[in-house]
């Protein structure tokens, strides 16, 4: 049998504003892309899917255009007043060039693994319908709002996910026949028409974004980790103290530099800029600019951190190594960590300050200056 032609309908016509705010949840951003665009891309990039179409709210044409960017898709169709209506209208829109199979997916499940899509398609070779599902593992209670009224046996119960897949002709006919019947999902429409529906293993990653917590979870698991490094050196000169990792450390010499010459904070600033590909400290704060003469380097570090936030990212970890024979860093380590954590607005246990000597070797060994290197980890 030649490869089946498979179309995907991504259902995005709901208003779904339970997350608060005016924006329907399918248009909220997840790692720089809308939830809807991510759901559409699952199918557009799947090798076994031929056609992808969104079913959207009639008011969302403009939003949709902005949301999908450069994805290559069939033009969207407008949904109806209920999800079931919307699915039927989506199916009708495919009817003049009918696929063999159709997958119907909730836009609010943008992290569904491709393997789940593949399993649903496979099952349609032997079943009219197929849905991904996971066995219920929590104990189920009935209640009246404040009190338990019974325990429901969970054996044989499943939580269903999407995409739900069907042979196209059968599900279109079933949706026409049961239009207006208020069935809870497309599998229920197929069941009402007497068609067998197979269960295939779902995946926890295919969870539905319903609450703000769900969106946060989706952002957490779909984010990418970036690591940046930084390195800096400043030469000793006259003075009675050095600034090191945001702390004034008494010393018989000072450090020469345009700003306060805090070599630790400079290395860390570069590490953060490196993690987001935002150039280096000299680009943002040119030594030629008199504004930065003697400037506290905490301002440079705070600026780098603000660029991370502006990208929708989160700084999760900073590690600085100070390289010198003198002054001793150990007595100031906790104050340095606290200073950095305060500037970055992150927890103390996400900040590390370490020190090493070079065993008397090289310029740090000869006491000519201080070097520092740093690593920063950012979740985008
Ligand atoms: Mg520097």
The larger pLDDT score, comparing residue 294 to residue 114, is at 114
Phi, then psi, of 304 in degrees rounded to 5 = -60, -40
CA of 258 to the centre of ligand 1 (A): 8
Same structural domain for residues 341 and 210?
A: no
Quick one: tokens of 292? 């930065």
CA of 307 to the centre of ligand 1 (A): 19
* pTM of the full structure: 0.70
Query: Is there a domain that residue 123 lies in?
Result: yes
pLDDT in tens, 132-154: 999 999 999 999 999 999 999 99
Query: Is there a domain that residue 66 lies in?
Result: yes
Same structural domain for residues 149 and 13?
A: yes
CA of 329 to the centre of ligand 1 (A): 18
Mean predicted lDDT score pLDDT of the chain: 94
CA of 257 to the centre of ligand 1 (A): 7
Provide, rounded to the nearest whole percent, the portion of the chain with pLDDT above 70: 98
* Chain position carrying tokens 């309908």: 9
Same structural domain for residues 275 and 241?
A: yes
Say if residues 379 and 225 touch (Cβ distance below 8 Å): yes
Phi, then psi, of 45 in degrees rounded to 5 = -100, 0
pLDDT over threshold 90, residue 105: yes
* Of the residues 206, 222, 238, the one at which a domain ends: 222
Same structural domain for residues 110 and 149?
A: yes
pLDDT in tens, 225-267: 999 999 999 999 999 999 999 999 999 999 999 899 999 999 9
Task: Give the separation between CA 190 and CA 188, rounded to whole angstroms.
Answer: 5
pLDDT over threshold 70, residue 1: no
Closest to 116 (Cα-Cα) out of 133, 135, 91: 133
CA of 369 to the centre of ligand 1 (A): 12
Report the interhelical angle of 263-275 vs 333-344 (nearest 10°): 40
- Average pLDDT of the residues in 170-187: 96
CATH (domain of 174): 3.90.550.10
CA of 191 to the centre of ligand 1 (A): 69
Number of separate domains in the chain? 2
Query: Is there a domain that residue 1 lies in?
Result: no
CA of 343 to the centre of ligand 1 (A): 18
Indicate the pLDDT class of residue 185, thresholds 50, 70 and 90.
very high
SS (H, E, C) the chain: CCCCCEEEEEEECCCCCCCCCCCCHHHCEECCEEHHHHHHHHHHCCCCCCEEEEEECHHHHHHHHHHHCCCCCEEEEECCCCHHHHHHHHHHHHCCCCCCEEEEEECCCCCCCHHHHHHHHHHCCCCCEEEEEEECCCCEEEECCCCEEEEECCCCCEEECCCEEEEHHHHHHHHHHCCCCCCCCHHHHHHHCCCCEEEEECCHHHCCCCCHHHHHHHHHHHCCEEEEEEEEEEEEECCCEEEECCEEEECCCEECCCCCCCHHHHHHHHHHHHHCCCCCHHHHCCCCCHHHCCCCCHHHHHHHHHHHHHCCCEEEEEEEEEECCCCCCHHHHHHHHHHHHHHHCCCHHHEEEEEECCCCCHHHHCCCEEEEEEEEEEEC
CA of 235 to the centre of ligand 1 (A): 10
CA of 360 to the centre of ligand 1 (A): 22
Same structural domain for residues 12 and 117?
A: yes
- Is residue 10 reached through a cis peptide bond, with omega within 30 degrees of 0 on the bond before it? no
Same structural domain for residues 192 and 268?
A: no
CA of 316 to the centre of ligand 1 (A): 23
Indicate the pLDDT class of residue 17, thresholds 50, 70 and 90.
low
Q: Which of 20-34, 250-264, 287-301 has the highest mean pLDDT?
A: 250-264
CA of 340 to the centre of ligand 1 (A): 16
Note the pLDDT of residue 112. Answer: 97
Same structural domain for residues 239 and 214?
A: no
Same structural domain for residues 268 and 188?
A: no
- Average pLDDT of the residues in 310-324: 93
CA of 322 to the centre of ligand 1 (A): 13
CATH (domain of 358): 3.30.1330.50
CA of 314 to the centre of ligand 1 (A): 24
pLDDT over threshold 80, residue 32: no
pLDDT in tens, 110-124: 999 999 999 999 999
pLDDT over threshold 90, residue 16: no
Indicate the pLDDT class of residue 201, thresholds 50, 70 and 90.
very high
CA of 230 to the centre of ligand 1 (A): 10
Task: Give the separation between CA 135 and CA 375, rounded to whole angstroms.
Answer: 43
Quick one: tokens of 372? 């520092």
CA of 346 to the centre of ligand 1 (A): 23
Same structural domain for residues 252 and 359?
A: yes
Note the pLDDT of residue 131. Answer: 98
Quick one: tokens of 334? 């906790």
Provide, rounded to the nearest whole percent, the portion of the chain with pLDDT above 90: 86
CA of 348 to the centre of ligand 1 (A): 24
Same structural domain for residues 146 and 250?
A: no
Same structural domain for residues 274 and 214?
A: no
pLDDT over threshold 70, residue 300: yes
pLDDT over threshold 80, residue 166: yes
CA of 262 to the centre of ligand 1 (A): 7
CA of 282 to the centre of ligand 1 (A): 9
Where is average pLDDT lowest: 156-165, 288-297, 353-362, 369-378?
Answer: 288-297
* Of the residues 191, 207, 222, the one at which a domain ends: 222
Domain that holds residue 104: 6-222
Task: Give the separation between CA 222 and CA 350, rounded to whole angstroms.
Answer: 21
Same structural domain for residues 329 and 270?
A: yes
CA of 351 to the centre of ligand 1 (A): 20
CA of 272 to the centre of ligand 1 (A): 14
CA of 197 to the centre of ligand 1 (A): 66
CA of 311 to the centre of ligand 1 (A): 25
* Of the residues 222, 254, 277, the one at which a domain ends: 222
pLDDT over threshold 70, residue 19: no
């Amino acid at each position: 049998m030649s490869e089946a032609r498979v179309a995907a309908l991504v259902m995005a016509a709901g208003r779904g504003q339970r997350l608060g705010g005016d924006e329907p949840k399918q248009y909220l951003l997840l790692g720089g892309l809308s939830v809807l665009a991510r759901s559409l891309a699952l199918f557009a990039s799947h090798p076994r899917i031929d056609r992808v179409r969104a079913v959207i709210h009639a008011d969302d044409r403009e939003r949709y255009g902005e949301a999908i960017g450069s994805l290559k898709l069939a033009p969207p169709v407008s949904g109806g007043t209920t999800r079931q209506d919307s699915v039927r209208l989506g199916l009708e829109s495919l009817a003049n060039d009918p696929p063999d199979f159709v997958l119907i997916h909730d836009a609010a499940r943008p992290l569904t693994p491709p393997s789940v899509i593949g399993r649903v398609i496979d099952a349609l070779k032997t079943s009219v319908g197929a849905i991904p599902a996971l066995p219920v593992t929590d104990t189920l209670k009935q209640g009246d709002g404040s009190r338990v009224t019974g325990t429901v046996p969970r054996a044989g119960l499943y939580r269903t996910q999407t995409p739900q897949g069907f042979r196209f002709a059968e599900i279109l006919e079933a949706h026409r026949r049961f239009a207006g019947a208020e069935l809870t999902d497309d599998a229920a429409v197929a069941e009402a028409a007497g068609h067998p529906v197979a269960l295939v293993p779902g995946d926890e990653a295919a969870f539905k974004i319903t609450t703000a917590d769900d969106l946060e979870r989706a952002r957490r698991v779909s984010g990418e980790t970036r690591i940046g490094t930084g390195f800096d050196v400043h030469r000793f000169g006259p003075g009675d103290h050095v600034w090191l990792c945001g702390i004034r450390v008494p010393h018989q010499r000072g450090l020469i530099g345009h700003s306060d010459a805090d070599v630790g904070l400079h290395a860390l600033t570069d590490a953060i800029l490196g993690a987001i590909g935002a150039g280096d400290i000299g680009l943002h704060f040119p030594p030629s600019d008199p504004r930065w003469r003697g400037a506290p380097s905490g301002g440079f570090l705070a600026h780098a951190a603000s660029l991370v936030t502006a990208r929708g990212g989160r700084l999760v970890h900073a590690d600085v190594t100070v390289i010198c024979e003198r002054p001793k860093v150990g007595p100031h380590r906790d104050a340095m960590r606290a200073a950095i954590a305060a500037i970055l607005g992150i927890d103390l246990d996400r900040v590390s300050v370490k020190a090493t000597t070079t065993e008397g070797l090289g310029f740090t060994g000869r006491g000519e200056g201080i070097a520092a290197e740093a690593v920063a980890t950012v979740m985008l």
